[in-house]
Amino acid sequence: MNATRDPYNAFLDLPPVEVPNASAGPLAGFTVAVKDIFDVKGITTGRGNPEWRGEAIPALRNASCVQALLDAGARFAGKTVTDEFAFSLFGQNVHFPFPVNPKAPDRYTGGSSCGSAAAVAGGLVDIALGSDTGGSIRCPASFCDLIGLRTTFGRIPIDGTMPLAESFDTVGWFARNIDVYESVAWVLLGEDRHTTPITRAVTLDGIASFLAGPAEAAELARMRSLVSLPMTSHATLPFSARPDELYGCFRKLQAVEAWREHGEWVTRHDDAVAPGTLERIRYGSTVTPEIEQAERDRRETFRAQFTSFLGGDAVLVLATMPSAAPLRSDSAEALQAYRERALHALCLAGLAGLPQISLPVGSVNGAPFGLSLVGPPNSDRALIRLGRTILSSAGQA
């Protein structure tokens, strides 16, 4: 896609390649953009790093999630910008112009699925594939006023995709409206294996403490009122690990897995990798086997506790992010503080392997602010159906 048709810096400028799709199917007539960590036959998967792209060869086949969309009739529109090695939260890849947030141009899009979110929010495509390891579907969805689902870990095959942290990586997608979103869900998810009706909602006041301030707390309270389920509030986190411990657990395990995947390459090409990305990957080399095992044990305990807390019939209701997207003029120190605040809440679903949907029903400071639901394992389709009800209550479906 050329610059005149892409005012949001969403797409990579790559030579055109014919990508066949079915002429009929549930997604016929829809266009799809693909984050540049998924293989598309005939196109080199660049992983957000020009040096990597220069050394790699074109993909020999499509990632299975890409193929499923093409087989359902979706038409490939192009590859989208991603943060370097998909290891960031704001959409700031120094190798490319930053994608513009169409819903708040003075604010970040969110990463690492930044280009995919910008393409959908700007109306350039109907659907865009992204991934979520630490928040890369949920964060851009909240920032760009989109629907975005972090799927149950392992629910959608992730072959033909660049790994970041293999025990956290999931496939997700963006859309502007729930009808399109549900059409993609039929293709990528099939029927839910979780069949217990969702009849309860719970909140955690401890997680609400990570909101940026009173305006966000008031908007979260309003958004909660849209959830048409009996709701119970818990003043403290009902888990054996504290929020700081859970965040530390996520950070260590994500980093050690990223180091195993990318450490050798970035060590040989450290001058070709942005300092922030390099630092996050190198941190994994400091995680000893003993620390790693202790954190994996902590995660398994937390996963069992969180799954038991939800039972088969409840969702956790929370704000997707601490506030609206940071301003592009914010300092590096402000961005880091926001990142750590956000990941304290984002890490919960990732550690537990649970699905979490972000819904575009809120606004603070004149910018989008998403509401999230975390559900039991494999309740992905149920979350989308509940999302439809909430969007209807908000007058958006």
E strand or H helix that includes residue 35: strand 31-35
Q: Judge whether 214 lies within some domain.
A: yes
Same domain for 179 and 228?
Answer: no
Same domain for 371 and 284?
Answer: yes
Q: What angle do CA 207, 211, 215 make, to 5 degrees?
A: 135
Rounded Cα gap, residues 325 and 138, in angstroms: 12
Tell me the residue type at 97.
P
Same domain for 135 and 219?
Answer: no
Rounded Cα gap, residues 390 and 231, in angstroms: 14
Same domain for 169 and 63?
Answer: yes
Q: Of 131, 161, 188, which one is at a domain's C-terminal end?
A: 188
Q: Which residue has tokens 């790699």?
A: 56
Predicted pLDDT at 237: 85
Which domain covers residue 177, as residue numbers? 3-188
Q: Identify the CA nearest to 335 among candidates 138, 129, 121, 139.
A: 139
Q: Of 188, 209, 226, which one is at a domain's C-terminal end?
A: 188
Q: Judge whether 142 lies within some domain.
A: yes
Q: CA torsion sign, 100 to 102 to 105 to 109? A: negative
Q: Could you list the pLDDT tens digit for every one of the 397 residues in the chain?
A: 544 589 999 999 999 999 999 999 999 999 999 999 999 999 999 999 999 999 999 999 999 999 999 999 999 999 999 999 999 999 999 999 999 999 999 999 999 999 999 999 999 999 999 999 999 999 999 999 999 999 999 999 999 999 999 999 999 999 999 999 999 999 999 999 899 999 999 999 888 889 999 999 999 999 999 999 999 999 888 999 999 999 999 999 999 999 999 999 999 999 999 999 999 999 999 999 999 999 999 999 999 999 999 999 999 999 999 999 999 999 999 999 999 999 999 999 999 999 999 999 999 999 999 999 999 999 999 999 999 999 999 988 6
Which residues are CB-neighbours of 365 under 8 A, at least 6 positions away? 215, 323, 324
Q: Judge whether 218 lies within some domain.
A: yes
Joined tokens for residue 354: 């649970």
Rounded Cα gap, residues 143 and 109, in angstroms: 6
Same domain for 183 and 204?
Answer: no
Q: Which residue has tokens 């192009």?
A: 78
Same domain for 28 and 98?
Answer: yes
Q: Identify the CA nearest to 250 among candidates 201, 208, 302, 173.
A: 302
Q: Judge whether 193 lies within some domain.
A: no
Q: Identify the CA nearest to 129 among candidates 157, 171, 93.
A: 171
Domain count, the chain: 2
Predicted pLDDT at 396: 84
Rounded Cα gap, residues 153 and 349, in angstroms: 9
Same domain for 145 and 214?
Answer: no
Same domain for 183 and 236?
Answer: no
Same domain for 154 and 247?
Answer: no
Q: Judge whether 339 lies within some domain.
A: yes
Residues annotated as catalytic (active site), given as ranges: 35, 112, 136
Same domain for 131 and 69?
Answer: yes
Query: Domain containing 48 — which CATH number?
Result: 3.90.1300.10
Q: Judge whether 69 lies within some domain.
A: yes
Partners of 80 in the β-ladder: 11, 35
Q: Judge whether 311 lies within some domain.
A: yes
Q: Of 126, 155, 188, which one is at a domain's C-terminal end?
A: 188
Joined tokens for residue 276: 């922030």
Burial of 137 (C-beta count, 10 Å sphere; 0-12/13-18/19+): buried
Q: Judge whether 319 lies within some domain.
A: yes
Number of C-alpha atoms within 13 angstroms, CB side, residue 321?
37
Joined tokens for residue 230: 């009996």
pTM of the model: 0.97
Q: How far apart are the first and last CA of the chain?
A: 30
Predicted pLDDT at 3: 47
Same domain for 175 and 252?
Answer: no
Same domain for 225 and 81?
Answer: no
In SS3 terms, the chain reads as CCHHHCCCCCECCCCCCCCCCCCCCCCCCCEEEEECCECECCECCCCCCHHHHHHCCCCCCCCHHHHHHHHCCCEEEEEECCCHHHCCCCCCCCCCCCCCCCCCCCECCCCCCHHHHHHHHCCCCCEEEEEECCCCCHHHHHHHCCEEEECCCCCCCCCCECCCCCCCCEEEEEECCHHHHHHHHHHHCCCCCCCCCCCEEEEEHHHHCCCCCHHHHHHHHHHHCCCCCCEEEECCCCCCCCHHHHHHHHHHHHHHHHHHHHHHHHHHCHHHCCHHHHHHHHHHHHCCHHHHHHHHHHHHHHHHHHHHHHCCCEEEEEECCCCCCCECCCCHHHHHHHHHHHHHHHHHHHHHCCCEEEECCCEECCEECCEEEECCCCCHHHHHHHHHHHHHHCCCC
